[in-house]
Chains A and B, each alone.
Chain A
Amino acid sequence: MSTTPQELKDRIEAGIPGARAQVTGDGRHFNAIVSAPAFRGISRIAQHRLVYDVFGSEVGDRIHALSIQTKPSEEP
């Protein structure tokens, strides 16, 4: 039950309004660079939580490791 960077990208972009994601990975370890308007004015930890929340308990399990970089973006 492996997953792909494309699946993660699609789910992040679907799960966070206005988000743009670049995801790379090998099926278990992933790197995501995410920008979204929702990140503006909230702490870095809150930004990362928004991304983790898209995947719930899959992080640490099916998605073994998800490394995240977040950037607030302008309104689309």
Chain B
Amino acid sequence: MTEQTTNPIREAIKGAIDENPVLLFMKGTPEAPGCGFSARVAAILESLDQPFAAVDVLPDPRIRQELSALSNWPTIPQLFIDGDLVGGCDIVSEMYQSGELQQALGIDGSPGEPEPEPEAVQSPPLTIENRL
């Protein structure tokens, strides 16, 4: 596959991954998830009081296509921590149960530790759709 010189969706996805230390691509939103797997990962992050940005892939099928092409991962949800794909629902659930997820998030053993990304709520990736 040759990469287009201008691919605004892919660029927006890359930008979102770079800008958000904890980023979840999901179906629907954390408040109104559109799929049980997405719901589970969002619930895990929320149970850890972990601020995270979320991108809903449902509004445009191209978001999902470009994301999967970029991440080499076929399914949604996809959780990125510090720019790296951690996994989907299965891996995140396993890592949560083993404590590896908390470790990867830097919240291992110190639940009160503040995360340096308070503006995660105002997630820029949600504008992907608006740029089309």
CB contacts (< 8 Å) of A6 on chain B: these are: none
The answer to whether B85 touches A45, judged by C-beta atoms less than 8 angstroms apart, is yes
Q: Are B91 and A48 in contact (CB under 8 A)?
A: yes
Tell me whether B86 is interfacial, beta carbon within 8 Å. Answer: yes
Nearest B residue to A32 via CB reads B90
Binds A, one of B14-22, B44-52, B69-77, B106-114: B69-77
Contacts of B94 in A (CB 8 A): 44, 69
Whether A59 touches B72, Cβ cut-off 8 Å, given contacts A44-B87, A44-B91, is: no
**A16 contacts the other chain (CB 8 A):** no
> What 1/0 mask marks residues of chain A from 8 to 49 whose CB sits below 8 Å from any chain B CB?
000000000000000000000000000000000000110011
Contacts of A68 in B (CB 8 A): 90
B37 within 8 A of A: yes
Q: Which of under 10, 10 to 19, 20 to 34, or 35 or more describes the interface residues of A?
A: 10 to 19
- CB of B77 to closest CB in A, whole Å: 11
Candidates B37, B74, B90, B95; contact of A57 at CB < 8 Å? B74
CA distance A69 to B89 in the complex (A): 11
Residues from chain A with a CB closer than 8 A to the CB of B37 are 65
User: Which B residues form the contact surface with A (CB < 8 A)?
Assistant: 37, 68, 72-76, 85-91, 94-95
